[in-house]
């Protein structure tokens, strides 16, 4: 399905955009992301990933879980750097 590829490409770009934030937070030992934002985004991405798998959008599922993992890292940073 072409939609799977389109969602994959967009989410790769979104994932790539998170990496500098994670690195910056790690270097400064300070988080610029609120705990509530990181928690709800992580939870939402897990739900979206689970929804994609029911639609047989396997690439979208994988990248959604990768994004959820990146947001989980931001959540952990938000909690530990407070």
Confidence band for 77, pLDDT divided at 50, 70 and 90: very high
What sign has the CA pseudo-torsion 47, 49, 52, 56? negative
Instruction: Say what the pLDDT of residue 33 is.
Output: 93
Instruction: Say what the pLDDT of residue 18 is.
Output: 96
Q: What is the pTM of this model?
A: 0.92
Residue 40 counted as domain residue: yes
Number of folded domains that form the chain: 1
Give the chain's mean pLDDT. 96
CA 3 vs CA 14, 46, 49, 62, 64: distances in Å: 16, 19, 14, 14, 14
Instruction: Say what the pLDDT of residue 1 is.
Output: 85
Residue 15 counted as domain residue: no
Residue 59 counted as domain residue: yes
Domain that holds residue 56: 34-82
Instruction: Say what the pLDDT of residue 82 is.
Output: 80
Instruction: Say what the pLDDT of residue 5 is.
Output: 96
Residue 54 counted as domain residue: yes
pLDDT, tens digit (0-9, with 9 covering 90-100), for 23-56: 999 999 999 899 999 999 999 999 999 999 999 9
Mention every residue, 6+ apart, whose C-beta is less than 8 A from residue 81. Answer: 25, 29, 30, 31
């Amino acid at each position: 399905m072409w939609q799977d590829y389109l969602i994959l490409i967009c989410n790769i770009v979104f994932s790539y955009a998170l990496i500098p934030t994670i690195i910056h937070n790690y270097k400064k030992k300070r988080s610029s992301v609120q705990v509530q934002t990181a928690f709800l985004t992580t939870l939402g991405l897990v739900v979206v990933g689970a929804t994609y798998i029911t639609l047989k959008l396997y690439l979208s599922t994988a990248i959604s879980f990768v994004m959820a993992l990146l947001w989980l890292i931001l959540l952990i940073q938000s909690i530990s750097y407070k």
